[in-house]
Amino acid sequence: MDYFIILVTTLAGLYFHAWLYVRIRRWTDRDLALSMAGDDPHKRSFMLQQLESARQLKIKRRDLADWLKNAAQRYTPEASLTETAG
């Protein structure tokens, strides 16, 4: 019984740490995208869409900052409105 308790608590701890690690990575990626958007609410939504596109394209984390920087430079208010409307 002792081994069962140790096994269950160890597995629960490992699962929690893995979950926390993934959440923190997502938060930092989101903060990176929002930091490039500034205070413009349209650009913020545009950058969050670009972050989602980067996830779908499986952009590696080491390349994500440059990829988002290029996306931020391509931003125009018109592009933001057409992407959110479509």
Q: How confident is the model at residue 80 (pLDDT cuts 50, 70, 90)?
A: low
Is 47 within a domain? yes
Range of the structural domain that residue 29 is part of: 24-85
Is 16 within a domain? no
Q: What is the mean pLDDT of the chain?
A: 90
Q: Which string of b and e fits 28-50 if b means at least 16 CB within 10 Å?
A: ebeebbeebbeeeebbbebbeeb
Is 10 within a domain? no
Is 31 within a domain? yes
**How do residues 24-50 score in pLDDT, each as one tens digit?**
999 999 999 999 998 989 999 999 999
Alpha-carbon span 48 to 37, nearest angstrom: 9
**pTM (2 decimals)?**
0.76
> What's the structural domain count of the chain?
1
Is 32 within a domain? yes
Is 3 within a domain? no
36: three-class secondary structure by DSSP: helix
Is 67 within a domain? yes
